[in-house]
Structure 1
Amino acid sequence: MSDVVSVTVEPFDHPLEEPFEISLGTRRTAANVLVTVETEAGAVGYGEGSPLPPITGETRAAAVETARTLADLLDGEDVADYRDLVGEIRAAVPGAVSALFAVETALLDAYCREVDIPLSALFGGRPAPVTTDMTIPILAPERAADRARRAADAGYDHLKIKTGTDVDDDVERVRAVARAVPEASLKVDANQGWTVTETCRFADGVADGGVALELIEQPVPASDVAGLARVRERVDVPIAADEAVFTPADAVRIVREEAADVVNAKLGKSGPLAVADIAAIATGADLDLMIGCMLESAVGIHTSAHVVAGLGAFTYVDLDGNRLLAEDVLDDDGPEHEISGPGHGVTP
């Protein structure tokens, strides 16, 4: 194997095709970070992070500076030592999740390209097509229904509806989508926007409207794990923990407190190697697994898809971030991600 000879960090923007509103705010551009790692053998790996301050705790400027600091820790190191190196950079700046995701991915990608294997092989499997859902943002009911019909026409039969605002408005949005695409499987994501009581009222409201949901994702604040457990006790719909799980230790807490039925393991929160650990914890506790994303291009999305293909453990796949961009680094669309190697297979 060979040593790292160059690490570069660049900010880059991805305008969105349409404004994307969740309970934490509205985005019109994905302000992302691209990290490139080159080895002395000429292998080049790419990694991407997509900071969102209310979730990741980082601005893009902070993520860029952190990634540049981490670059010094990789310089001259053997890429074959990727697991130890990932441990070192995560110990150096715990919590800088977007910068860490970009650097870790670029390192793993460079290693896999140097030994000519797909990234999925690091996680135990071959590259295989990965099918994602499509997310409907917070919109008025009629506009949400229109977005849902467009998604269904494009081949998406699993939809995730953003909620977490006024409960009555959220119920009406979900009912409108269900009427518009009655054959679609629906889940909702409140992004921490409700209380326990509001979550229960929402669940009753959609049930009274005859809408069956696959799951309700992170209805209460991430810090309120006890509240998440109360929701799980009181609501018949499966409950997913998202922002409450950044680390394997967080996943252990969710299991111990019986706070969720599903764990959303996001590479943008945890990085590829820790997601594998989180998946093992959830699987061992007989919880379902979901994989999610931020507003990443195919660099980040295909990295996640390789983890899905490699582990083969995910019941729910929410990897549509690049489908929301006005233009991606790859020219593809639709619900299926065709992934390849070596590495994650994407050269921006």
Structure 2
Amino acid sequence: MSIITRVSVEALNLSMNEPFEISLGTQYEAANVLVTIETESGTIGYGEGSPIAPVTGETQTTALAVAGETASLLEGEEIGDYRRLIERVRATFPGMVSALFAVETALLDAYCREREIPLAALFGGTVQPVTTDLTIPILSPEEAASTASRAIENGFEHLKIKTGNDVNGDIERIAAIHQVAEDAELKVDANQGWSVKETVYFASQMRSREIDIALIEQPVPKTDISGLSLARESVSTPIAADESIFTPADALRVVRENAVDVINVKLGKSGILAVADIVAIAKAADLELMIGCMLESAIGIHTSAHLVAGTGAFNYVDLDGNLLLAEDVIERKYGPRIDIKGAGHGVVPQV
């Protein structure tokens, strides 16, 4: 293996098809970070982070600054020593999850490209297509139903519906979607917007309307682990944790407190190697796994898809971030199938 000769960082600004509203706020563009790592062999690895301040605690400006500072820790180092290097940058810049996801991805991408293996191979698997759901933001019932209809026409069989601003409005939105997508699997994501009482009310309304919900994701604030546990005890619908889990230690906590049925991991929260650790924890605890994303281009999405293919561990796949963008870094097809390739994550951005 060869030496890292250059780490470069730049802004990656991508417009969106339309504003994307969740209970934590509205995104009007993806203000992302692109990291490029080059080795002495001429191999180039690419990584991306998508900072969203209410979730990751970063802005694009802070993420760019931190990613740039990692150059002094990485240049001159052996690319094959990637685990030690990842631990080093994460110890130096704790909490800067989007910036370090971009750096970690670029490191592993360069390593795999040098060895001419897919990223999936690091996790014991092979390259194969991955199927994602489509996320429907907070819209009026009519707009949400129209979006769901288009998704079904384009082959999506799994829909994730954003909720959390007003539980009665949420119920009407989901009822409208169910009317046009009766055969689709429906998941809901409150992004911390409900109380336990509202979660119980929502679940009871779904039962009374005979609408089957596959899971309820992060209904209560991320620090309210006891609230997650109470919600899980109070409803029959599986409860998933998302924003409550960034680290393997967070995953251990929800396991010990019997707080959830499903753990939703995001590489943009935790990084690739830490997510592999969280996967092991969830499997040992006999919990289901979901993988999600931020507003990432094909770089971040394909990286996550390689982890899905490599581990074979995920019950739910929510990797549609690049489908919400008006433009991507590579040519893409609109639909539920993600065709990944290697070496590395297989994406060379055309930007």
Please give the TM-score of this superposition, normalised by the length of structure 1: 0.99
Does residue 47 (structure 1) correspond to residue 50 (structure 2)? The answer is no
Query: Matched residue of 2:15: which SS?
Result: strand
- Structure 2 CA distance for aligned equivalents of residues 18 and 205 of structure 1: 30
- Report the residue type matching 1:47 in the other structure: G
The amino acid that maps onto 1:233 is E
Q: What is the Cα deviation at residue 235 of structure 1?
A: 0.7
1:208 Cα deviation after fit: 1.4
Corresponding letter in the other structure for 1:342: A
Unaligned runs of 5+ residues in structure 1 are none
SS in 2 for 1:37: strand
SS of 1:265's equivalent in the other structure is: strand
Once residues 71 and 244 of structure 1 are traced to their aligned partners in structure 2, the CA distance between those partners, rounded to angstroms, is 30
Deviation for aligned residue 1:317: 0.2
- For 1:248, the equivalent position in structure 2 comes to 248
| 2: CA distance, partners of 1:280 / 1:64 | 31
Residue 70 of structure 1: how far off its partner (Å): 1.3
Alignment of 1:196-275 (within 5 A): 196-275=196-275
1:341 alignment counterpart: 342
2-structure distance, mates of 1:253, 1:320: 28
| 1:298-345 residue CA offsets vs partner (Å, 9 max, x unmatched) | 000000000000000000000000011101112222100000000000
Whether 2:94 is the aligned partner of 1:114: answer no
4+ residue stretches of structure 1 with deviation over 3 A?
none
CA deviations over 1:239-291 (Å, ceiling 9, x no partner): 00000000000000010000000000110100110000000000000000000
- Report the equivalent of 2:132: 132
Secondary structure at 1:10 match in 2? strand
Q: Percent identity?
A: 63
Deviation at 1:37, TM superposition (A): 0.2
In 1, Cα distance between the equivalents of 2:142 and 2:113? 47
CA distance in 2, matches of 1:98, 1:71: 16
- SS for the counterpart of 1:183 is coil
Q: For 2:301 and 2:176, locate their aligned partners in 1 and report how far apart those are by CA, in whole Å.
A: 29
SS in structure 2 of the partner of residue 102 of structure 1: helix
Q: Write out per-residue CA displacement over residues 88-141 of structure 1, whole angstroms, 9 at most, x where no aligned residue.
A: 111111110000100000000000001111000111111110000000000000
Tell me, yes or no, if structure 1 residue 15 matches structure 2 residue 15.
yes
SS at structure 2 position matched to 1:13: strand
1:192-239 CA-partner distances (Å, limit 9, x unpaired): 001111111111112211110000000000000010000000011000
Which whole-Å deviations, capped at 9, do the CAs of 1:158-197 have from their partners, x for residues lacking one?
A: 0000001111000000111001111111000000001111
- The CA deviation at 1:12 is 1.3
Instruction: Give 2:159's aligned residue.
Output: 159
Q: Distance in 1 between matches of 2:348 and 2:16?
A: 21
- Paired with 1:304 and 1:322, the residues of 2 have a C-alpha distance of 12
Query: Hey, what does 1:145 align to over in structure 2?
Result: 145
Q: Which residue of 1 aligns with 2:184?
A: 184
Backbone CA RMSD of aligned residues: 0.6
Task: Find the aligned partners of 1:165 and 1:105 in 2 and give their Cα distance.
Answer: 34
Distance 1:209 1:31 in 2: 40
The SS at the match of 1:230 is: helix
Between the aligned partners of 1:65 and 1:265, the Cα distance in structure 2 is 25
C-alpha distance in 2, partners of 1:207/1:131?
28
Amino acid at match of 1:69: E
2-side partners of 1:250 and 1:128: how far apart?
30
